[in-house]
Amino acid sequence: MYLVDANVLLEVILKRQHTDAAAAFLSSVDGTNLYVTEFGMFSVAIYLFKRSWNLWIDFLRDIEQAKVNVIRLALNDEQVQIELRRAAEYGLDFDDAYQFTAAVLNDLKIVSLDTDFDRTPLGRLTPEQATQN
């Protein structure tokens, strides 16, 4: 099961350099084995809202139809605080610390294009690597 970082989703939406690999990964895994954080969803929303309300609605519909799981962390939860603090020790900024914490607490592999996760014990998989798993 995979935690998909927002940058993987945005890679497909924005048709960037790794679009093909990100799209191949997303289409190769059953949606019930994919997780995104609410924070990641907000990151995508920030971009899509600037473009078009309809793009945001289409994205939400796609997430729902694929049965992708959305994780929300309770920031006042003691275990969440412990993991966020640990993430800060690896030099992660808040958005990456949030993703790391969600992955740790839900026993998920992180799929991301962000090399900052490589400093953590979880590491990360690129979309290409995750497709090969």
CATH of domain 2-127: 3.40.50.1010
Contact indicator for 33, 2 with CB cutoff of 8 Å: yes
Domain regions of the chain by residue span: 2-127
Rounded to two decimals, what is the model's pTM? 0.95
| Interval 70-103: pLDDT, tens | 999 999 999 999 999 999 999 999 999 999 999 9
Q: Name the residue among 61, 38, 37, 57 with its Cα closest to residue 49.
A: 57
Contact indicator for 109, 3 with CB cutoff of 8 Å: yes
Contact indicator for 101, 74 with CB cutoff of 8 Å: no
Beta strand segments in the chain, E:
2-4, 34-37, 69-71, 109-111
What does the pLDDT read at residue 133? 81
| Interval 14-48: pLDDT, tens | 999 999 999 999 999 999 999 999 999 999 999 99
